[in-house]
Structure 1
Amino acid sequence: TQQFLTKTTTTLPQQCVAGYIFRQGDIGTNWYAVLTGSLDVKVSDTSNHQDAVTICTLGIGTAFGESILDNTPRHATIVTRENSELLRIEQKDFKALWEKYRQYMSGLLAPPYGVMETGSNNDRHRHPVIMWHVPLRVTSVPSEKILRAGKVLRTAILSRAPHMIRDRKYHLKTYRQCCVGTELVDWIMQQSSCVHLRTQAVGMWQVLLEDGVLNHVDQEQHFQDKYLFYRFLDDEHEDAPMPTEEEKKECDEELQDIMLLLSQIGPDAHMRMILRKPPGQRTIDDLEIIYEELLHIKALSHLSTTVKRELAGVLVFESHPKAGTVLFNQGEEGTSWYIILKGSVNVVIYGKGVVCTLHEGDDFDFNRILRDVEANTVRLKEHEQDVLVLEKIPAGSRTSNQGNTQPKYIVMSGTPEKILEHFLETMRLETTVNTGVHDFVMMHCVFMPNNQLCPALMPSQGTEQEKMDYALNNKRRVIRLVLLWAALYGDLLQEDEAAMAFLEEFYVSVSDDTRVIAALKDQLPELEKAMKQITEEAKAPQKKHKVLLHHFNTSDERTQKRQPIRESDEILFKVYCLDHTYTTIRIPVLSSVKEVISAVADKLGSGDGLILVKMSSGGEKVLLKPNDVSVFTTLSVNGRLFACPRDQFDTLTPLQEQEGPSTGTVGTFELMSSKDLAYQMTIYEWELFNCVHELELLYHTFGRHSFKKTTANLDLFLRRFNEIQFWVVTEICLCSQLSKRVQLLKKFIKIAAHCKEYKNLNSFFALIMGLSNVAVSRLTMTWERMISNTVRTVKFCRSQPFTPDASLANKNHQDVRNYVRQLSVIDNQRTLSQMSHRLEPRRA
């Protein structure tokens, strides 16, 4: 082809008459490609060159001459902007090439400037012409990387599982050299540790399918994890060669790199595959994947979560590989909104030409959708400013309840007082489920703390002369809100004197109102019960002020159920100095770093310029900020607090005790039942979890220092995961006898299986991650001694449903209970890896 092109093309002279290559309406006789220079594309509605408008510019590498085969008139006028060199192929030569190489030349006939239909003059001011502007591809060939990836995967399959590629019969028809979709997914998951999900594997094969390196026998565009036949590009030919031994060796070396490449670009291919599906065929998982992608698109950043989830169900993928494709014309009614994922588009306005170019991340034709959104938006203004913005959800939409004919409103933004007022007005007393009100009660601390909420609620309980029906409903809604608030904050309200004073005042106010409004009497007992419960709980023995040790246990912790750590509790804690001496301080759990430094300075007698530092067992140091609160519970498993002058920060070193135990507990551990250990671990972790208040999750997310609140219970629950993980690694690495290590592995796997039976996924995953730690997984001599049934238990744990059984307490029940609550571990990964290499040195 290249030789033929060389013989049949001539260079157009640089000097052209008036610079015109051809005019709009001329019959096409040549095809052109731009070598140097640039040319303008002009279009006229009247075919008069005097009123022609430039719609775009053609640069080096573009080609034009779309009417060369059918002798149709040219759609535009092409004129040189500067001295230009073109390649020209005459019509008879081009037709000869076309007959011989039709499948490769289809892209050459697409006009790079688009074919613009004429519209009425009255409509042309409404929309600009939008044209897709991407590099023109002459042939639809896969990229070199993807082509190589397909070759490596095909060679690996022929080398490791040759039975997968064979002739197959289906409905009396034979399909040559095919693979099955489900088998391809199974195979790729077995070959790489970076492939965890079948959907991930589907995306990796979809990459090959999009580029034509892998093809469905019926030319379907979606790769599916089903009994469908697919064929590699090399197998399309009947005489496809088998790979040589040298090729097999090369492909084995490249396989993991190819897997990594496909795993990185697979999600994008999977996303495109989902977007190509008709909206009605998308599954719930498909919609969730689309929604996750929408979170990262710049053009959608201003939209609410609800709108993004609605968009996930209607977005479709549109690809335009040919430059010059017109998406819509000026004057046409806008029916779609576009977001550019890749490439760029030119915006052309009649009379002005190309006015701008839009690129990746930009959107256009949003006006119609914007009008619809504004039509469904309710804005309440005071003093010319928005104080409440609501979005109307029409009845019957996916986000509204099925069967509900009344529209709903979502609070988009507003002042705290107006949001509270809105929820009170829309609260339905006849139903116990008020999702929006519950959300407000849970989240109000973020934007409307108690010292703002309580005064805002009190005016609603006055005795003003109002219409009785409005007063009754309004007061009942406030009582309902206060009951929800008290139920959620119960324990925390006991530590807030202002909140307790408000509750007492509120109760008295409601009692007074019942004399005027008798209908309020039915809610008074419920309010009285809530008040009594809060005051009695505050006086309970377990609610009294506690002094915690540095392990966050009270002296009788081993024999009693664990109780939540409260802000008023105090802690006895050791703070270490540069020379590894320490001072013990007694201070509230909620204390800030500034207060801790002050307490340490008082004990030391001097403390000018002291700083507080978190030190891990591996020597990592973190300088704490003065406004950080409740830092005691944020330490790592073997972490310690150090106080020192700022100029001595770099000289701090870990304590010897931070290294952890030097001997394992296998002697005690092996005498305990695996099921009893799992049961006691579950009981203990349930106690830890039960101590966590829902609001601690908010404090953790938005920052404890912003609320001056502690997340001690949540911190300890999260730290327990690391403690169990390092417990597994510590015990195995401290066991020098090979036979004992094998028994330990078996025991930990059994404990993990029992934890899954008890639905204790926290311990289950911690144990599995401990067994997967590099210091354990590299012990090949130990794993080789394991019987296959025991190793398969881990896979069993991942696949079987829960069937929990209560543990039968045996004679050493208390020993097991104490053991799982006081684990001694090494949490320094470097130390554990060194110990592992001493147990089993690397093989030569």
Structure 2
Amino acid sequence: CVRTHPAHLFHFNSFLFDVDIIFARLKEVKAFERYHPNLLQQICFCGFYESLEKGVTLYRQGDIGTSWYAVLTGSLDVKVTETNSHQDAVVICTLGVGTAFGESILDNTPRHATIVTREFSELLRIEQKDFKALWEVSETFPFAKVYCSKKENNNKKRCSDDWLGNDCRTEQEKMDYALNNKRRVIRLIQMWASLHGDTLREDEAAMAFLEEFYVSVSDDTRTMAALKDKLPELERTVKQISEDSKGQQKKHKVLIRQFSTGDERLQKRQPIRNMDELLFKVYCIDHTYTTIRVQVAASVKEVLSAVADKLGSGDALILVKISSAGEKVVLKPNEISVFTTLSVNGRLFACTRDQFDSLTPLPDQEGPSAGTMSTFELMSSKDLAYQMTIHDWDLFNCVHELELLYHTFGRQNFKKTTANLDLFLRRFNEVQFWVVTEICLCSQLSKRVQLLKKFIKIAAHCKEYKNLNSFFAIVLGLSNVAVSRLSLTWEKLPSKFKKIYGEFENLMDPSRNHRAYRLTVAKLDPPIIPFTPLLIKDMTFTHDGNKTYIDGLVNFEKMRMIGNTVRTMRYCRSLPFNPEASLANKNHQDVRNYVRQFNVIDNQRTLSQMSHRLEPRRA
């Protein structure tokens, strides 16, 4: 539960307080009344509660500060010693509830005064690195320097470290503060547009916001000439995204290659976008089919409408996905990207409700009847692993980070496709079933032993290339019950390979949240193709195990945990995959063709039956 996470707890008189208590206390402070609740919650997450007795020196004049403070209860004296003066420090003002001080940590300048508690006081302390982060991202956090003054012996003493509110600011300070805030907002928007430009092109609301934002900045330059230097870059960003968006709306791609078998799969992999179009087969109860053309992100309702138009049917239709094992699932009208979520040998059927029980899988969903060992046994294990890694990297590189979020929170809620992620996940299953299929279709014991050795070698090379997705898929295929139960085959496997396989199993040990795997990945440098199902698991557990909102406020700690998973993917792709020169120069068209067109059996019951025919159960 999020509430038990250590980041939510702060020390206060050696007790632990929940962030909700801190949040409630902050809302009672007058200085924080106008802050947005989300910002207050951020302050709570990175702040520490401190209670100090009377007479405690918080810091001394001339010290280099490390923290910013806000007074929640009590009061503190501000003492200043004149330069070269041998007199005691003089109290020039008192900081009461609602005041804040310590902004000098932004530029590491010395403290301008000594701060001493006047009475028992409670403070909120924010460390330097967290303070700087809040300063950068929030245009509403009022950390601008202002001054307080008090006449003493007709001399004004200034405490430039303290914030007492907008009333103490000069007009120039207010203008400087507003200018800095606007600059930060512009920088934030440009970073956002740069990072998610591809996605923004498909979002009408985002495009409208960018264009409106540009107009607002243009208007501001009339009164703030200092903003003019930001305008050209912002204009280029908005113009580029806008033009690309209009160009995409006029031209759609037909992605036959992404969803069909044959030579189309050999074309260079391109990212699939919401507005891309595809041709796809939807089958009828008599196993005939109609080919429809729809957008990738089309809903089930839109697909059925296209099918009805093609068939000329006035009956109410339902869309059903059927696996090779005969499992049938009726898809809901609001589901989207249903083509890419099919199992390896899954198919889509359209029928009326009274025909549902009569639906049966297609014959070609059963998979191959003969293995391909004669084809790939002559191929080098290293070449096979290399070409698999190139193909997997192309698939992985097409996955947009936001697809992880859409997949976790429900793509129908965003009306966004997760096609690239779906295809990459399906590739994992395809490789896994390829291993099981080839072994179960091999009737000769000696050949099966050779297959075990071949797959262990390929897995080792995938690990060498940091293709952990295919590495896991191959090892999971070898540990599939249809393969692991073949005791006669495993007994004849040389001890050298048994030892290597044992090491692979240790790496895949799921105990302690896959600790062995995570420690291994932490030592790797990018590029890396990670074990993607585990990334999905991390996202799902974080989402299901923590509330998105707490008392109407965004649960930022949950967002941080999800962000960490997204950053893992970003790190893995932070460097490009550079083909190995010795292998890249070779012409391996036959190997390349083979690894991109696996034909597999994905029916576990069928695979188990085949396994028992190879080696019947012993008494």
Short-chain TM bin: 0.5 to 0.7
What is aligned with 1:674? 381
- Distance in 1 (CA, whole Å) between partners of 2:135 and 2:296 is 32
- Does the 8 A contact of 1:379 with 1:388 survive in 2? no
Q: Show the counterpart of 1:714.
A: 421
Equivalent pair of 1:567/1:709 in contact (CA under 8 Å): yes
Provide the rounded CA distance (Å) in 2 between the counterparts of 1:719 and 1:438: 41
Equivalent in the alignment of 2:370: 663
- What SS class does the counterpart of residue 583 from structure 2 fall into? coil
Q: Which residue of 1 aligns with 2:482?
A: 775
**1:555 positional shift:** 9.0
Helix, strand or coil: the match of 1:546? coil
Secondary structure of 1:567's counterpart equals coil
- Give the CA deviation at 1:379: 7.9
User: What residue in structure 2 maps to residue 82 of structure 1?
Assistant: none
Aligned to 1:392: 44
Match of 2:291 in 1: 584
How do 1:719-798 and structure 2 match up within 5 A?
Answer: 719-797=426-504
Shift of the alpha carbon at 1:556? 7.7
What is the total number of aligned residue pairs between the two structures? Answer: 448
Q: Give the drift of 1:612.
A: 0.7
- What amino acid sits opposite 2:355 in the alignment? Q
Superposed, which structure 2 residues align to 1:224-303 within 5 Å? 295=1, 303=3
Tell me how far apart the structure 2 counterparts of residues 676 and 624 of structure 1 sit (CA, whole Å): 41
CA drift of 1:630 comes to: 1.2
Shift of 1:503: 2.8
Instruction: Tell me how far 1:745 sits from its aligned partner.
Output: 0.9
Question: Aligned match of 1:521 in 228, 238, 245?
Answer: 228
Q: Structure 1 residues 555, 737: closer, same or farther in 2, change over 3 A?
A: closer
**Aligned with 1:620 (options 298, 320, 327):** 327
Q: Is the 8 A contact 2:459 2:475 kept in 1?
A: yes
Could you say if the C-alpha distance between residues 754 and 386 of structure 1 is closer, same or farther in structure 2, counting changes exceeding 3 Å? closer
Corresponding position of 1:266 = none
Question: Where do 1:599-618 residues align within 5 Å?
Answer: 599-618=306-325
Deviation at 1:757, TM superposition (A): 1.1
Residue segments in structure 2 that go unaligned for 5+ positions in a row: 51-64, 72-105, 109-128, 139-171, 508-519, 528-578
- Provide, for residues 475-499 of structure 1, a one-character-per-residue CA deviation record: whole Å limited to 9, x for no partner: 2122122112212220112223443
Q: CA deviation at 1:607?
A: 3.9
- Counterparts in 2 of 1:492 and 1:336: CA distance versus 1, 3 Å: closer
Deviation at 1:703, TM superposition (A): 1.1
Give 1:539 deviation, angstroms: 8.5
**How far 1:406 sits from its partner (Å)?**
2.2
Aligned pairs (5 A) from 1:678-689: 678-689=385-396
Equivalent position amino acid for 1:770 in 2: G
Q: In the aligned structure 2, how far is the partner of 1:821 from the partner of 1:724?
A: 10
Cα deviation, residue 392, structure 1: 3.0
| Whole-Å separation in 2 of the counterparts to 1:511 and 1:732 | 67
Residue type of the alignment partner of 1:406: W
Change over 3 Å in CA distance of 1:621–1:408 after alignment to 2: farther
Aligned to 1:534: 241
Match of 1:248 in 2: none
Contact 2:482 2:608 (8 Å CA) reproduced: yes
2:583 corresponding residue in structure 1:
808
CA contact (8 A) 1:614 1:623 kept: yes
Q: Secondary structure at the match of 1:392?
A: helix
Pair 1:832–1:607, CA change in 2 (3 A): farther
- For 1:33-52, list aligned pairs within 5 A: none
Q: Return the offset for 1:525.
A: 3.8
Contact 2:10 2:48 in 1 (8 A): no
Q: Which residue of 2 aligns with 1:471?
A: 178
Please list, as runs of the form range in 1=range in 2, the aligned pairs for 1:432-447 lying within 5 A after superposition: none
Q: Distance in 2 between matches of 1:373 and 1:432?
A: 17
Match of 1:162 in 2: none
On the 8 A contact 1:490/1:534 being kept in 2, the answer is yes
Flag the structure with larger Rg.
1
| Aligned-pair CA distance for 1:466 | 12
Residue by residue, what CA displacement relative to the aligned partner does 1:443-464 show, whole Å, maximum 9, x if unpaired?
A: xxxxxxxxxxxxxxxxxxxxxx
Task: Specify the code of the residue in structure 1 equivalent to 2:68.
Answer: Q
Q: Does 2:613 match 1:838?
A: yes
TM-score by length of 2: 0.64
Task: Name the Cα RMSD after superposition.
Answer: 4.2
Question: What residue number does 2:25 align with?
Answer: 375
Q: Output the amino acid matched with 2:365.
A: Q
In structure 2, which of residues 562, 585, 604 is the aligned counterpart of residue 829 of structure 1?
A: 604
Which amino acid counterpart does residue 468 of structure 2 have in structure 1? L
Preserved contact between residue 727 and residue 824 of structure 1 (Cα < 8 Å): yes
Contact kept, 8 Å, 1:574 with 1:583, in 2: the verdict is: yes
Counterpart of 1:831, as a letter, is: T
SS in 2 for 1:643: strand
CA deviation profile, 1:557-576 (whole Å, cap 9, x unmatched): 55543111111111111111
Tell me if the contact between 1:781 and 1:840 (Cα under 8 Å) persists in the aligned partners: yes
Q: How far apart are residue 577 of structure 1 and its match?
A: 1.2
Counterpart contact for 1:574–1:584, Cα < 8 Å = yes
> Judging changes above 3 Å, is the alpha-carbon distance between structure 1 residues 690 and 620 closer, same or farther for their aligned structure 2 residues?
same
One-letter code of the match for 2:271? P
CA distance in 2, matches of 1:675, 1:618: 34
**SS of the counterpart of 1:523?**
helix
SS of 1:580's equivalent in the other structure is coil
The one-letter code matched in structure 1 to 2:331 is: L
Q: Give the Cα separation in 2 of the matches to 1:712 and 1:581.
A: 26
1:627-642 equivalent positions in 2, closer than 5 A: 627-642=334-349
- State whether structure 2 residue 67 is matched by structure 1 residue 405: yes
Q: Is the 8 A contact 2:432 2:474 kept in 1?
A: yes
In the aligned structure 2, how far is the partner of 1:622 from the partner of 1:379? 55
SS in structure 2 at match of 1:706: helix
For 1:187, the equivalent position in structure 2 comes to none
Judged with a 3 Å threshold, the aligned counterparts in structure 2 of structure 1 residues 388 and 491 are, in CA distance, closer, same or farther, namely closer
Q: 1:429 and 1:652 mapped to 2: Cα distance?
A: 71
Counterpart-to-counterpart distance in 1, 2:135 and 2:304 = 42
Whose RCO is larger (CA < 8 A, sep 6+)?
A: 2
- C-alpha distance in 2, partners of 1:672/1:841? 31
Q: Which moved more, 1:650-659 or 1:474-483?
A: 474-483
- Cα distance, 1:429 vs structure 2: 13
Does the CA contact (< 8 Å) of 1:590 and 1:710 recur in 2?
A: yes
- 1:129-278 counterparts in 2 under 5 A? none
The verdict on how the C-alpha distance between 1:534 and 1:818 changes in structure 2, with shifts beyond 3 A counting, is farther
**Inter-CA distance 310–843: structure 2 relative to 1 (3 Å threshold):** farther
Q: Quick one: structure 1 residues 716 and 650, their matched pair in 2 at CA, closer, same or farther if it must change by over 3 Å?
A: same
Unaligned ranges ≥5, structure 1: 1-294, 296-300, 315-333, 338-365, 410-427, 441-464
Whole-Å separation in 2 of the counterparts to 1:769 and 1:542: 43
Whether 1:548 and 2:255 are equivalent positions in the alignment is yes
- 2:169 paired residue number: none
Q: Alpha carbons of 1:369 and 1:703: their partners in 2 closer, same or farther (altered >3 Å)?
A: closer
Equivalent residues in 2 for 1:441-460 (5 A)? none
Following the alignment from structure 2 to structure 1, what is the Cα–Cα distance between the partners of residues 137 and 343? 33
Partners of 1:761 and 1:408 in 2: CA distance: 48
CA gap of 1:545–1:304, structure 2 versus 1, over 3 A, is: farther
Deviations 1:373-392 (A, max 9, x none): 64355689999x97875353
Residues 322-378 of structure 1: CA deviation (Å, up to 9, x unaligned) = xxxxxxxxxxxx9878xxxxxxxxxxxxxxxxxxxxxxxxxxxx9x99866643556
* Preserved CA contact (<8 Å) 2:257 2:265: no
Residue deviations 1:580-613 (CA, integer Å, cap 9, x gap): 1111111111111111111111111114221111
Separation in 2 of the partners of 1:698 and 1:474?
30
Residue in 2 that maps onto 1:507: 214
